[in-house]
Amino acid sequence: MNAKPEAVLLPLDVERIRADFPLLSRTVHGKPLIYFDNANTGQKPVSVIEAVDRHYREHNANVARAVHTLGEEATASYEAARDAIARFVNAPSRDEVILTSGTTQAINLVAYSYALPRLKAGDAILTTVMEHHANIVPWQLVAERTGATVKAAPIDANGELIVEKYIEMLTPEVKLACVAHVSNVLGTVNPVREIARECRKRGIPLLVDGSQAAPHRRIDVQALGCDFYAITGHKMLAPTGTGALWAKREHLMAMPPFFGGGEMIREVRFEGTVFADPPHRFEAGTPNIAGFAGIPAAIAYLEGIGFDRLKAYEQELLAYATDAIENLPGVRIFGRAKEKEPVISFLLEGAHANDMATLLDLQGVAVRSGHHCAHPLMQFFGVPATLRASLAFYNTKAEVDGFIEAVGRVRKLLL
């Protein structure tokens, strides 16, 4: 039998793609913008901008409250976002998708609705040294209220999770395990499937922070085998104030509401309230309706490119940028994982990251500097801050060249 030929990935037409993103054509301080802060927030294509604009122009009304035409249209648009996200993460059911303002709200929902009622003194939550504060602080808050503790699995000098140590730390007192799918500082991709498999063996639910993974790779919560998965819309081309929590239905049915208010109830009496079934039980109040109108357009744009093509190009761009940065005098790169997304954190000897970022901005270059909401990771590497260049499929090698030239000019000013 003849072997099936491998699919040929057509290269991205990056210049055509860039034309879909209005902001990429602007200038900053008289210089063409080089936007390398994509791990902070992604830029928005015209299709997403138009979807939000269309909502306000044609369909603006509140959701799930009115039987008039506008109300029904707004509700249909809002629920279409749930459907799009359910397909995007391959959820078994749309009713397992809670629409949130982003990953931070999603993790807090799990912390207060799932973990808080179950924790007691002596219990523990396991996370890792490389986590964003959003996957540390909520656990500390609920641990303080219950007498539980928060444990952090270590990483190595390459910025890779020491998986065997993480597994070793899945001891009986651990009632919830957490891990970032992709580090926002290092770009490290963690072996979620392996971690989830070990958690299941021990009956420990696993929460995955997928905020940095969703813009770069196909998400399949069923294949990953986790219990909770959180995403942020604004990092994956969608509007700010949007995101979602996927959770196994068995967990959602057992979780009490985190917020109380309108539209998360069946009936309210002063003698007591009967709450709605998930997902609406966790969606009190008026949501970011216009923002969620942009979610299907954002997902359609990413899927229209195709994650295989997107990944191939971004990995090529990452390799090109890494080589260029490595050739800078006195450079130190943080994060040398075997599997990375296009994020490069680095420092130049003798130059403070914030000074570098400020002067690079004058050259039209947007990068992030600071601790990146990851103090424990900065402490591990013994630095107060790094400079982070985070790339996306709409960035180019020419921009990398321009970035390196700008760094060279700034270096001469500082050193």
Q: Which residues are catalytic?
A: 373
Rounded distance between C-alpha atoms, residue 140 and residue 120, angstroms:
13
Q: What burial class does residue 275 get, using C-beta atoms within 10 Å of its C-beta: 0-12 exposed, 13-18 middle, 19+ buried?
A: middle
d(CA 347, CA 337): 17
What's the rounded Cα separation, in Å, for the pair 393 and 309?
A: 9
Q: Token match 């050739």: residue?
A: 327
Ranges of H-type helices in 125-259? 137-146, 163-168, 192-202, 221-224, 249-254
Angle (CA) 289 292 294, round 5°:
125
Q: Is the peptide bond before 117 cis (omega within 30 degrees of 0)?
A: no
Tell me the two tokens of residue 269: 């009496």
Largest separation between any pair of C-alpha atoms in the chain = 72
